[in-house]
Structure 1
Amino acid sequence: MTARNAGLDLLKWLAILSMIADHLRYLWPEAEWLFVIGRLAFPWFCLAIAANVARSPAGALFTPFNGRYLGWLVLFSVLSEWPYRWLDNGSATLNVMPTLTLGLLVAWGVHHPTRLGGVLALIAVIVSTLAEDTLMYGLPGVLLPAALVLAMARGSGWWMLPGFLAMAANLTNSWLMAHVLEPFVWLVLATAWASVPFGTGLLRLKGLPSVWPVGRWGYGFYPVHLAAIKTVSLLA
């Protein structure tokens, strides 16, 4: 059995905390700084996916672990939609889980260079292109886990690619795109860019004390925390 990576668990915890901070804006809309902190969450979840993909043997696509991994993402893509829609009924996109699910398929295609792996990745890219307007973070967000897998494998200048994709994913937000010259948007994009080297630095830390593992409960935490924040907003 592969030993748990304390840096990966720490990364997941920080991704969860930054996601919560982002969604607390539904309780405190005037706290714009929470939006900036929230730009760390999606790239770090993508990095967690990339780290899980990269540590599996290349070519070993059909494994029980991969089957469970995809199954949990698909299941909570469905289960999370109602709480997400309840919290933000004005959103033009789906919850973030479908983006992460499609991103996993593309990352598999990069890491497992088999015919079926390539077909799955191609299908995911085609679906993402056709459904770009309804996917949170759009096609750049779907491609981000695969870019991180490439960067882990090849290093050097490849780390520029996920940084640009993290920025591009945020620019699928129509408000950010319309105000791209404003300093606040620059801060948002800089935070998205910085999430990649900071996150990979966490993965490389050695000698960390054990961190409480983020297990399968993490999937359920996403819809539960959305519903909890909505409930608090109604009671406030």
Structure 2
Amino acid sequence: MSSARSAGLDLVKWLAMITMVADHLRFIWPTAEWLFIIGRLAFPLFCLGIAANVARTVPGQLFTAANARYLGWMLAFSVLSEWPYHVLDVGTGTLNIMPTLTLGLLVVWGVHHHLRVMRWIALGTLLMALLVSDVLMYGWPGVLLPSAFLMALRGGWGTWLVPGFVAALANLTNHWLRANVFEPITLMTLAAALVAAPVGLWMLRGQYGGRVWRVGRWGYWFYPLHLGVIKLLTL
């Protein structure tokens, strides 16, 4: 794995967190529907972050301590984030976002690493995602999104259409959006998901002279903690 820090990757993570917080501020200001649209940038950018991390590793070198820690943190916060997520959004019928991202990591590992066992794991993960798609935030398309971004990272600018399309499809797993696909808010939501791909790839590939504050493992804690803070503010 490359030890060089990517300022572009940190900027992608920062924008993902900022737009995620903006989305969740709707629980304080329910009438601010535009926050929902801004929030559709967050999930694709988090998926791009996963794809970029995987792309920086050597194909075939899967069973490393770094990858074990990566998966361990993802699994741990899939569990730790569930209660804060449901406390804030009591009406949701899905799990928090971390299980979708964790399954996406397993699938993109199967795409990146030329190992038969990992490809079987990735295939099994995708089949499981298809079976439990209704309880996954962004459903099975969300599980595929990191792999779509990996394809874009390998194929150049034109391939941003692949993750852009998958991101839009992932938003259509929302029952209301799917039932009201021609409503203005739905069209703007799909446009935001689509544009997240080229914006994220542009940021990731940019050259930056200044120092960007690193998003480290504290970013895992940020997810459940900010949900709790927003819940307190709603009271």
> How does the TM-score come out when normalised to structure 2?
0.97
Structure 1 residue matching 2:207: 3-state secondary structure: coil
Quick one: which amino acid aligns to residue 71 of structure 2?
Answer: L
Amino acid at match of 1:229: I
Matches within 5 A, 1:106-145: 106-145=107-146
Using the alignment, how far apart are the partners of 1:66 and 1:191 within structure 2? 31
User: Quick one: distance in 2 between partners of 1:121 and 1:115?
Assistant: 10
Q: CA deviation at 1:156?
A: 5.4
Q: Give, in whole Å, the separation in 2 of the partners of 1:72 and 1:119.
A: 22
What is the deviation of 1:3?
1.6
1:165 and 2:166 equivalent?
A: yes
Q: By how many angstroms is 1:178 displaced?
A: 1.0
The Cα RMSD (Å) is 1.0
Q: Which residue of 1 aligns with 2:175?
A: 174
- Paired residue total: 234
SS of the residue corresponding to residue 209 of structure 1 reads coil
Q: Unaligned stretches of 5+ in structure 1? A: none
Aligned residue for 1:58, secondary structure, equals coil
What do the CA deviations read for 1:183-214 (whole angstroms, capped 9, x no partner)?
22111101100000000000111134111111
Q: Which residue of 2 aligns with 1:60?
A: 61
Give the distance between the partners of 1:18 and 1:154, measured in 2 at CA: 27
Kindly tell me: are residues 122 and 231 of structure 1, through their superposed partners in 2, closer, same or farther at Cα, counting changes over 3 Å? Answer: same
The 3-state SS of whatever aligns with 1:93 is: coil
Identify the residue that residue 228 of structure 2 maps to in structure 1: 227
Matched residue, 2:194: 193
Cα distance in 2 between the residues matched to 1:216 and 1:157: 32
1:117 is displaced (CA, Å) by: 1.5
**Superposed, which structure 2 residues align to 1:44-123 within 5 Å?**
44-123=45-124
Residue 24 (structure 1) aligns with? 25
Answer yes or no: is the 8 Å Cα contact 1:50–1:107 preserved in 2: yes
Q: Are the aligned partners of 2:8 and 2:208 in contact in 1 as well (CA < 8 Å)?
A: no
SS in structure 2 at match of 1:85 = helix
Quote the offset at 1:157 in angstroms: 4.3
In structure 2, do the counterparts of structure 1 residues 156 and 217 end up closer, same or farther at CA, with 3 Å as the change threshold? closer
Residue type matched to 2:63 in 1?
Answer: F
Structure 1 contact 7–208 (Cα < 8 Å) conserved: no
Query: SS of 1:113's equivalent?
Result: coil
Distance in 1 (CA, whole Å) between partners of 2:174 and 2:189 is 11
Stretch deviating more after TM superposition (221-230 or 115-124): 115-124
Match for 2:86: what amino acid?
R
Q: TM-score, normalised by structure 1?
A: 0.97
Amino acid in the other structure paired with 2:20: M
Worse-superposed segment, 117-126 or 166-175: 117-126
Q: Distance in 2 between matches of 1:172 and 1:232?
A: 29
